[in-house]
Each structure stands twice: as structure tokens, then as C-alpha cells.
Amino acid sequence: MPPFQSNKNILSLTEDLLVRIYEILVSESDRKSFRLACREFLRIDSLTRKHLRILRIEFLPVLLHKYPRLQSLDLSACPRIEDGVVSLLLSQVGPASNSLRFGNWTRGLKSLVLSRATGLRFSGLEMLARACPCLESVDVSYCCGFGDREAAALSFAVGLRELNMDKCLGLTDVGLAKIAVGCLKLEKLSLKWCMEITDLGVDLLCKKCVDLKFLDVSYLKVTNESLHSIASLLKLEALGLMACPLIDDVGLQFIERGCPLLKAIDVSRCQGLSSSGLMFVVRGHGNLLELNAGYCLSELSTALLHQIKNLKHLEVIRIDGARIPESSFQVISANCKSLVEIGVSKCVGVTNMGLMRLVSGCINLRVLNLTCCHSITDAAISAIANSCRNLVCLKLESCNMITEKGLCQLGSFCLLLEEIDLTDCCGVNDKGLEYLSRCSELSCLKLGLCSNISDKGLSYISSNCKKIHELDLYRCTGIGDDGLDSLSSGCKELKKLNLSYCNEVSDRGLGYIGRLEELCDLEMRALNKITGVGLESVAAGCKRLADLDLKHCEKVDDLGFWALAYYSRNLRQINLSYCAISDMALCLVMGNLTRLQEAKLVHLCNVTVEGFELALRACCIRIKKVKLLATLRFMLSAEILETLHARGCIIRWD
């Protein structure tokens, strides 16, 4: 068929068919290729796109005008979203409506992510809440300055069903009351680290928001009284109580008699609880699907085990840090056939025989955490591989007795494996990596402190594991430039890479890293052979780089930092501590990187007080967190410190 006729057929497809084709495309790179093909495809992209994550705030007005049918908007990556910006967007983007010219983009918006939007305050939040009548989900987590006024602003979103306020440190019972009264349809609420919330606020919440299905009050100083209130929630399915220091077994008795639909509970790190308290929960909820009691129990008692075996539908159990009798594994294996995840990290009593008994019955396991179970050997790994063919995640950090024999079994039978943590497993060698490379679905591989692997082993992984997104080679001293050459050729989808203390890596190796166009997180502390030339290669090639750690890279000169300032416009976090950067280069980096939110600038010996002052002035509008040497507290001007504080920037003095 002639090329012109083929093109005519494609463009003659109906809009409905083109939309269906677009929706089949999963990856963002494929969708980007689609919309760049022709104007008609670009129009389909504009009409169809429902989710948008903004990386640079200057493009926000244009993008909101371009995509009028958004249902989800993520602004968490923008360095600064302020009340003035919100006002401008609502008044300029779109047709007139009421007193403000609310844009079309607000009318269908259901989800809004404002995590870490520290520049936003109650005025901007209220404008958004009023302008988005369909809003159902809001995330303002880690907005540490948010308090009761911001909560009151959110209460205008009366249709809200999901709200995440983790680490909104100024929130008190007053603000929570505003939300409870205004957002009666709430089904999911997370209040982790909202330390000012008390039993009074939780009680009112439970009385007003009776449709709650998910509630997380982890790290709060609530008492058993709050559990008494929570027990009245008839629709609650998931409850987070992690590290609540004031609750005890008496409080869990209330949960036993309430929350009839409870399916998941997290009481990890609750030091006041014992096996007796967990028995109340288990006994009262036979349909429990998830039980997280990590670092909560000193020992898995026989009485508790007797109750757990009745949980026929249990899918997830985490009892990390407890002493486990070997016989317990047989009981769990024989009775909890539905388990897909087990966590026994740092547990005393985990043996080869115990694990063999466990996996003989729990053949549907997909996630198994054996971190710091020092007694297990290849025999246990062989049993796991033979029984658990659907395993996707296996954590074996500090299991020092595992060798290539165990990895051979994993490579033979666990072909669906996506994540494996072999950190500090000194028995892992190149031959083991060759066996492991048969797991072609691997996306996350952690090999930190594996001193017996080399470039040869890395080449096996690079050749067969094309889907790897995350690779940790921390202190793998046998890895050098040749290994990075094979890595850059084979693992094109790599997004996160840790090369810290890989002392054999030089500028040539960084040249290969520059080929990884998808890389967004790179750690390379103390690489003593790299210079500005290598850093320039990374900056020029890895345009998506968002997090960069250069601590103790003392031979990198201003040439590299200038390249960083010019190319790496997407950087959000950077660690330059102990680097040989100059005043001018630091000012250029801090001023040019317009998306930079966090910087660690400790022990910069070539930077003067004036250099720090100018650099901080260059970024004070957008920077959210900065780490400085403690002595600078008394040398920097009061004006710059006050400006940073007023902008919501957190300064950590080292």
C-alpha cells in the first residue's frame, strides 16, 4: 500500500476510535509520541487527558487551558504554589463564572494533590475548594505550616471523600471539627503526625463522619478514649494506629466489640500493646485481611497464634521484631492458606526448618520479608523458590549465609520476581547474579555492600533484566566503568541508581550514565575519580534528573556545576556537602535550578559567607528546606533568615 494511502486511512479514523487507541497506551513516553505525531493526535490528547502532574509552574496556565477535562491535578512537584498564583489561575484561565472567571479545568476536577505546597495558605485553599464543585480527594500532606484555618478552608469542599493531612503540624481539634462538620461524606482520612489532635477531636470526627472506611491516626498521642470513639464507626475497613504510645490492650477491647467491617489494622510500634490486646482484635474480626504488628510484640504467644489460625481469609501478616517459636510456622502454614505477604524481619527464631514448613502451605505468597534473619541458608531459599512460584518481592538484607546456590533456585523457579533486596549479603557473587538474571521481570535490585560482585556480574543483569527501574550498588567496590557501560546499554528504563562509594567509577563511567535518559535519582557520594567533566556528561544526558547526591565528590570543579545549572532544570533535591564549589558556581546553581526545593550545603570550604548569602537570596522564593553549617546562623544576615522563614523554608543547622 502506498505511504500516502496509509496515512489517509489513519487520519480518517473517527474521533472515538482515536480516543480508544490513546487510552490503550499505558506509558507516558508512548503517549508523548502519540501527541507529537500530528495535530489531530495532539487534539485527541487534549480532549482525553484526565490526569496532569505539573513540573514547572510557569507552564501551568497554558496547560490548564489546553486540558479542559482534567479530573486529577498534581501540583506536588511545583516549587511554589501560592495564594496569588491560585487567584490568577482562577481569574484568567477559562470563561467567566460568578465574580471570578473560573476556568473549565475546575468544573470536572475530582482529585487535587498539594503535598508539600508550603507556600499555599487558607485563602488559596478556600478559593480552590469553592471553585471545584466536584472535588472528592485532596492531599495536603507534609504542608507542615497548615493548621486550623487551612482545615476550615478545606471544609468548603462539601463533597470531599478522601483527605490526607499527614504532618499538618498546626492542625488541632478545632480544625478537625471544621472538617468533620463540613465534610460529612468523608470516607478516607489520614492524620499521621498531626500531633495536636486529641481524643476530643477524634470523638467529634467519629460522630459526624459516620461513613469513614479508612482512618489513620498514627503517631498521635490519643488514648483508649479515641479507640472507644472509633469503635462506633460501622463502615470502617482500615485503621492505622502505628506508634501511638498511649493506647494499650484495654483500648483494643473496644475495637473487638466495634467496627464490624474491619479488614485491616496497623498497630506496629505501639509499645503499650501485648499479645492479649491483639487477641481481642483477632477474636472480634474473623474476616480480617491484614494484620500489621511489626515491632509491637516481644513474642508471638501460643494464645495469639491460636486466634490467628482462625483467620481463614488473612492475606497479610507482619510480626517483625518478635520472637517466634519454630512450631508457629507450621500452624500458620496449615491454617492461613490465603496469605500473600509475610513480614518476619529481625525476628528471633526464624530457621530453615520453620520457613520450609511455612512455605509448604502458603504457596500463594507474593511478598516475603526476611531482613536480618541471619540463620537462614540456601536450603530455605530453595524451599521458598520451589513452593512460591508467584513471588514478586523478596527481602533478604543481611542474610549472610545465602550464596549462588540459593540464587540459582530463585532464577529457576521465581520467574515473576520484580524486587529483591540482597543488601549486605556477602555470599552473593557474579555467578549468583548470572542465575538471578533469569528473572527478567526484575524492576528493583538492591546489592549494596555486596563486595564480591564485579562488572561481569552487572553485565549479566544488564543483558537480561531490561525492566530494572531501581538499582542500588552502594559500596560495591568491584563495580567500575565497564559495568556502567553494559548497564547503560541494557537497562534503558533505569530511574534510580546508587553508586555511592563505588571508588572505581571515573568520568568515563559517568559518560555512560549520561545515556540513561529516564534517570531521575542518582546518588554518587565520595566518587574520588570523577571531575567536572563527568558531571557535565550526566547533566547533559539525564534531563529528567530530580534528585542528585554529590556529597564528598571533592574533585568536581566549577565546570561540572556550571553544566548542572545549565542542563538540570528538573532538579528538586541536591546534596553538595563537602564539594569544592565556588561562590559563583553556587549562586548559579541555586539561582538557575528553578524547581529546586531542598539543598544540603554543609562544609563548602570554598564558599564565603557572602556566597551563601547571595545563593540563598537567589532561591529564597522557592526553596523549602536547606541544610547549613551551624556557625552560619550567626554570620548570615537577619534579613535573609527572616525571608526564608516567612516563605516557609525549613533550615536545618548541622
pLDDT given at position 99:
39
pLDDT given at position 648:
79
Residue 304, amino acid = L
Q: Is 101 helix (H, G, I), strand (E, B) or coil?
A: strand
DSSP states along 103-140? -HHHHS--EEE-TT-TT--HHHHHHHHHH-TT--EEE-
Contact 120, 159 (CB under 8 A): no
**How many C-beta neighbours within 10 Å does residue 44 have?**
20
Rounded to whole angstroms, how far apart are CA atoms 389 and 385?
6
The model's pTM is 0.91
N-term to C-term CA, the chain: 69
Looking at the DSSP assignment, which residues form a beta bridge with residue 190?
A: 164, 216
Nearest to 457, CA basis, from 420, 477, 483, 476: 483
Contact 190, 167 (CB under 8 A): no
Nearest to 390, CA basis, from 422, 357, 413: 413
pLDDT given at position 8:
53
Contact 563, 536 (CB under 8 A): yes
pLDDT given at position 645:
87
Helix (H), strand (E), coil (C) string for 455-486 = HHHHHHHHHHCCCCCEEECCCCCCCEHHHHHH
Residue 653, amino acid = W
DSSP states along 292-332? E-TTT-SB--HHHHHHHTT-TT--EEE-TT-B--HHHHHHH
Looking at the DSSP assignment, which residues form a beta bridge with residue 113?
A: 74, 139
Nearest to 146, CA basis, from 120, 124, 127, 183: 120
| Centroid of chain to Cα 596 | 18
Q: Report the phi/psi class of residue 622: left, alpha or beta, with left for phi > 0 and alpha for psi in -120 to 50.
A: alpha
Rounded to whole angstroms, how far apart are CA atoms 96 and 70?
18
Q: Could you identify the residue written with the cell 507542615? A: 144
List CB contacts of 387: < 8 A, sequence separation 6 or more.
Answer: 359, 360, 362, 363, 365
pLDDT given at position 469:
97
List CB contacts of 437: < 8 A, sequence separation 6 or more.
Answer: 411, 460, 461, 463, 464, 465
Please give the grid coordinates belonging to residue 489.
Answer: 546499554
Looking at the DSSP assignment, which residues form a beta bridge with residue 239?
A: 215, 265
**Pairs from 249-254 (Cβ < 8 Å, separation ≥ 24):** 249/273, 249/274, 249/276, 249/277, 249/280, 250/224, 250/277, 251/223, 251/224, 251/226, 251/227, 251/277, 252/227, 252/277, 252/278, 252/280, 252/281, 253/277, 253/280, 254/224, 254/227, 254/228, 254/230
- Compute the half-sphere exposure of residue 322: CA atoms within 13 Å on the CB side of its CA: 28
How many separate helices (H) and strands (E) can be counted in the chain? 28, 24
Contact 572, 595 (CB under 8 A): yes
Q: Report the phi/psi class of residue 541: left, alpha or beta, with left for phi > 0 and alpha for psi in -120 to 50.
A: alpha
Q: Give per-residue burial for 94-131: e unless 16+ CB within 10 Å, then b.
A: beeeeebebbbbbbebbbbbbbbbbbbbbbbbbbbbbb
Phi, psi (deg, nearest 5) at residue 633: -55, -35
Q: Give per-residue burial for 468-500: e unless 16+ CB within 10 Å, then b.
A: bbbbbbbbbbbbbbbbbbbbbebbebbbbbbbb
Q: Is 156 helix (H, G, I), strand (E, B) or coil?
A: coil
Residues of the chain with confidence (pLDDT) below 50:
1-7, 94-102
Residue 569, amino acid = R
pLDDT given at position 144:
87
Contact 424, 448 (CB under 8 A): yes
Nearest to 344, CA basis, from 297, 309, 391: 297
pLDDT given at position 200:
97
**How many C-beta neighbours within 10 Å does residue 370 have?**
26
pLDDT given at position 100:
41
Residue 216, amino acid = D
Please give the grid coordinates belonging to residue 491.
Answer: 537497562
**How many C-beta neighbours within 10 Å does residue 17 have?**
11
H or E stretch covering 513: helix 507-513
Rounded to whole angstroms, how far apart are CA atoms 377 and 427?
10
Contact 252, 273 (CB under 8 A): yes
pLDDT given at position 615:
97
Residue 255, amino acid = I
